[in-house]
Chain A
Amino acid sequence: MRLEVIDADKCVGCQCCMFACTRIHRDAGLAKSCISVKSAGGMQHGFLLTVCRACEDPPCARACPEDALVLRKGGGVLLKEERCAGCGACVKACILGAVFWDEDNNKPLICRHCGFCAEHCPYNVIGMDKKRTASGEKI
């Protein structure tokens, strides 16, 4: 099961997903969000959604010198915080920019594909794909 963008053209830019992600991290504000919605060069041109794609062979995990990012069942990674040295190699490795950074703890913020953001998207822009992995294979 992974989070997926169903239709970015329906996004109104309310950013409720970002605030939801923050709350599931037991915080308020936006510092702990691992999803991002930004205007694509002016709001009239729609929005860019940055969401972890739950890669099957995640570059972020391969880039980690401490093996702090372990493969998650269904795609993507889980952070073993105690192993993370805070080098930021994972951030650079993700060309989507879907590895976010926790400035307070100096560690990455990794999407857990919990679906809480999707529950707070009023327009079904994002949702949970229960059957597919990033490469499109059925599991």
Chain B
Amino acid sequence: MIGADPLRNVLYVNLTNKSFRIADRSDLFGKYMGGAGVAIQLLTEECPKGADPLGPDNPIVFAVGPLNGLYPLASKTVAMFKSPHTGNLGESHAGGRSAVSIRMAGYGAIVINGVSERPCYISVTGNMVYFRDASTLWGMGKSETVGKVIRANEPSSGLRTIMRIGIAGERLIPYSCVTTETYRHFGRLGLGAVFGSKKLKAVVVSGKRSLPVIDQRQYEKHYELIFNKATESPVMKKYHEIGTPVNVTPLNVSGALPTRNLLSAHFEQADLISGETIAQQCLGKRLACAHCPVACIHIAALREPYEDEPYFYKTSMIGYDYELLYSCGSLLGGSDVPGILELLDGIEAYGLDCMSAGVVLAWATEAFINGLISEKETDGLRLAWGDYKVYLKAVANIVEQPNDFYRALAKGVDYASSAYGGQEYALAFGGNEMPGYHTGPAAHIGYLAGARHSHLDSGAYSIDKKIMVNKAMTPEMVATEIIAEERWRQILTSLVICFFARELYSTDVVIEALRLSGFDLDEPALKKLGEDIHTEKFRFKVREGFSFDALRIPKRIFQTPSGAGMIDEQFVRTAMECVKKEIMSKVEATQ
């Protein structure tokens, strides 16, 4: 790391006594670079063993890396915390303006501890932290409005991010999210509830500064190389034009699009919710994260009439992505685009994770159809595939919680199914609701094996393509590939680069970018570091009670044909044994 690089600064904020301090942590940044690598160290330091995820001892860690603010597509912030949803490692990434703003404010990481006496938000700017009263914002309906009020009240200049929660976070729903810049989210594993437990409505960070590089000319040259690759690459073009929903059609064609709670992996009406269809019908705007020329964020413009008054319309701008069209579209058996968009808008307004919320609704629908639950539990709602008017009411009930059933749904599918049955089709892995890929065994092994039980841990769905071609791939080979990929991704998330750019940021490109930021690491050193960070995460998980043996595999994944045919349970279990052996040998070696 370069001596003058402000990356080394960690801002520690204590909400209990409204204090803050800035510490030089070049010890951590010098060794782990930033992002995930530093965040897991800070989490391990700050979070006492066995801490209540919704108690004062659970820290919130935001970390950025050396490439943020310097290179295009280095646009992500890593959040770490103990997850109230799984009771274990919580890790979630978001873009928007968050990463560049934290870097421009002069920090490599922000750690938030304690509990505020009353609702508050904090504003981080110019070496200061301001503790603002947010009593009037608590309970406010839309996170968009919260953003507007804060924007109007914060005179801070420079690049700014406003990370905030909705009512779901205030009510401690363990799959509530933190929203940044209206359309990006620390979506998974319940950071919103951790904010809520601290009475923290929002975190505003702003700044504007210079960053040091080793050799300005070489930096400019390397920048142009990455920028040109990003703007000319066909992969990036794909995400730019249709966005992530471009995946709806190919996944459906290959029989990998989870449909009606994975009763099927082929959605006969997928054409109606494809990225191309939605773009034609209602794409209203495309947006980008700070410092990303790709602009993959797709916003639909939904024009709706008011039913009670003629010639009164509102136009809502609603973000949509592949994962949302899966969880709130095909998984709910719905092809009514305005209905899907209204549901997404509703979930967004409450500040829930759209993926978990969709999976919860899908489980509830199947349980209702099967008679495990009745209108007594649903408070009179007749849940049915594709009925979005009912789904909107159900989401409101998850937040309002009028009875035990909705209180159970508000805890996720693992909990709800343990109370009401239907575990075999409760689609969650390691306590986290399933992502939208039923591509084959590798995808599911990836969810089970990943440190955050996310498809992004290792992107293992792409390994399923290889399995389809090479039937001779053994469980051992799949396990090895998944672990290798997850370890390499620890490097990318320590820099912190958007995964969409992972092909642009090849090992050589990463090594040169790091060299210009004062990190001299060759390929073996990087690979070792990736392995170490991965092991550190599992060390934390094991410390907090994680066990590979306790992972529940929903039976449904073995009953519905996937993109690679029927999934053999034994294949998955053998691969998981290999994963366990490899990871635990490293965890035990470092203890």
Distance in angstroms between the alpha carbons of A12 and B295 in the assembled complex: 6
B151→A41 contact, CB < 8 A: yes
Q: Nearest chain-A residue to B317 (Cβ)?
A: A44
Interface membership of A120, Cβ < 8 A:
yes
Contacts of B358 in A (CB 8 A): none
**B290/A122 in contact, CB under 8 A:** no
Set of chain B residues within 8 Å of A23, measured between Cβ atoms? 220, 223
Q: Give the residue of B208, B210, B227, B294 whose beta carbon is less than 8 angstroms from that of A28.
A: B210
Top 8 closest A-B pairs, CB basis? A14-B288, A44-B317, A12-B295, A29-B211, A12-B288, A31-B210, A122-B293, A29-B210
Return B9 CB to nearest CB of chain A, in Å.
15
Q: Are B183 and A43 in contact (CB under 8 A)?
A: yes
Looking at the assembled complex, report how far the CB atom of B151 sits from the nearest CB atom of chain A, in whole angstroms: 7
B212 CB contacts on chain A under 8 angstroms? 28
Q: Chain A residues near B297: list those with CB within 8 A.
A: 12
Q: Is B216 an interface residue (CB 8 A)?
A: yes
Known A-B contacts A16-B72, A39-B181; the reply to A44 vs B285 at CB < 8 A is: yes
Q: Are A28 and B219 in contact (CB under 8 A)?
A: yes
Q: Is the CB of A41 within 8 A of B288?
A: no
A27–B181 alpha-carbon span in the complex (Å): 27
Contacting B208 at CB < 8 Å: which of A12, A31, A39, A41?
A: A31
Knowing A13-B288, A104-B210, say if A42 contacts B144 (CB, 8 Å): yes
Residue of B181, B208, B213, B219 ringed by the most chain A CB atoms within 10 A: B208
Separation of A120 and B224 alpha carbons in the complex (Å): 9
Would B147 and A32 count as touching, CB distance under 8 A?
A: no
Contact, CB under 8 Å: A29 / B209: yes
Interface presence of A124 (CB below 8 A) = no
CB distance from A42 to the nearest CB of B (A): 6
* Inter-chain contact B182/A28, CB cutoff 8 Å: no
Chain B residues contacting A15 (CB-CB under 8 Å) are 100, 159, 288, 290-291
- Across the interface, which residues of B come within 8 angstroms of A14, CB to CB? 288-295
Which residue of A has the minimal Cβ distance to B181?
Answer: A43
A4-28: CB near B (< 8 Å → 1, else 0) gives 0000000011111001001100111
A12 with B209: in contact, given A39-B181, A43-B182 (CB under 8 Å)? no
What are some 24 contacts across the A-B interface (CB < 8 A)? A12-B288, A12-B295, A13-B288, A14-B290, A14-B294, A15-B100, A16-B227, A16-B291, A27-B210, A28-B70, A28-B212, A29-B70, A29-B209, A29-B210, A29-B211, A30-B100, A30-B209, A32-B210, A41-B151, A42-B144, A42-B182, A43-B181, A122-B231, A122-B295
B158 interface residue per 8 A CB criterion: yes
Within 8 A of A (CB), among B265-299: 285-295, 297, 299
A41→B100 CA distance, assembly (Å): 19
CB distance from A122 to the nearest CB of B (A): 4
A-B interface pairs (CB < 8 A), number = 86
Task: Report Cα–Cα, A122/B223, bound state, in Å.
Answer: 15
Q: Which residue from chain B places its CB closest to the CB of A23 in the assembled complex?
A: B220
B148 touches A44 (CB 8 A): no
**Contact among A12, A28, A39 with B211 in the assembled complex (CB-CB below 8 Å):** A28
B162 to chain A, nearest CB (A): 10
Interface string of A25-55 (1 = CB under 8 A from B): 0111111100000010111101000000000
Bound: A104/B4 CA distance, A: 15
CA distance A25 to B227 in the complex (A): 18
Known: A12-B295, A41-B148. A31 touches B285 (CB 8 A): no
A120 neighbours in B (Cβ, 8 Å): 227, 293
Bound Cα distance A39, B144 (Å): 13
| B69 part of interface (Cβ distance < 8 Å) | yes
Contacts of B286 in A (CB 8 A): 12
Residues on A with beta carbons closer than 8 Å to the beta carbon of B223: 23
Interface residues, chain A, with chain B CB atoms under 8 Å away: 12-16, 19, 22-23, 26-32, 39, 41-44, 46, 104, 120, 122-123
- Is B575 at the interface (CB under 8 A from chain A)? no
Please report the C-alpha to C-alpha distance between residue A91 and residue B104 in the assembled complex, in whole angstroms. Answer: 22
In angstroms, how far is the closest chain A Cβ from the Cβ of B72?
7
Q: Which residues of B contact A16 (CB under 8 A)?
A: 72, 227, 291, 293
Q: A46: which B residues are within 8 A, CB to CB?
A: 285
- Measured in the bound complex, the distance between the Cα atoms of B100 and A27 in whole Å is 16
In the complex, which residues of chain A have a beta carbon less than 8 angstroms from the beta carbon of B148?
Answer: 41-42
- Tell whether, in the assembled complex, residue A29 and residue B287 are in contact, meaning their CB atoms are under 8 Å apart: no
- Taken together as a complex, chains A and B put the C-alpha atoms of A13 and B295 apart, in Å, by 8
Q: Do residues B158 and A30 form an inter-chain contact, with CB atoms below 8 A?
A: yes
A73 to chain B, nearest CB (A): 27
Q: What sequence of 0s and 1s flags, for each residue 223-235 of chain B, a beta carbon within 8 Å of any chain A beta carbon?
A: 1000100010000
A103 to chain B minimum Cβ distance, whole angstroms, is: 8
Q: Complex: how many Å from CA A43 to CA B96? A: 10
A23 CA to B444 CA in the complex, in Å?
44
State whether B182 touches A44 (Cβ < 8 A).
Answer: yes
CB neighbours (8 Å) of B216 from chain A are: 26-28
Residue of B nearest to A120 (CB): B227
Q: Which residues of B contact A42 (CB under 8 A)?
A: 144, 147-148, 151, 182
Min CB gap A6→B, angstroms: 17
State whether B213 touches A28 (Cβ < 8 A). yes
- Whether A44 lies near B147 (C-beta < 8 A) is no
Query: How far, in Å, is B106 (CB) from chain A's closest CB?
Result: 10
Q: How far is the CA of A120 from the CA of B294 in the complex (A)?
A: 12
User: Chain B's nearest CB lies how many Å from the CB of A33?
Assistant: 8
Q: What is the bound-complex CA distance between A32 and B69, given in angstroms?
A: 13
- In the bound complex, do residue A12 and residue B287 qualify as a contact, i.e. CB atoms below 8 Å apart? yes
Name the A residues within 8 Å of B183 (CB-CB): 43-44
Known interface pairs A29-B209, A120-B293, A123-B295; 20 further A-B residue pairs with C-beta atoms within 8 A, sorted by A's residue number: A12-B287, A12-B295, A13-B288, A14-B291, A16-B293, A26-B216, A27-B210, A28-B210, A28-B211, A28-B213, A28-B219, A29-B103, A29-B208, A30-B104, A30-B209, A31-B208, A41-B151, A44-B183, A44-B317, A122-B295
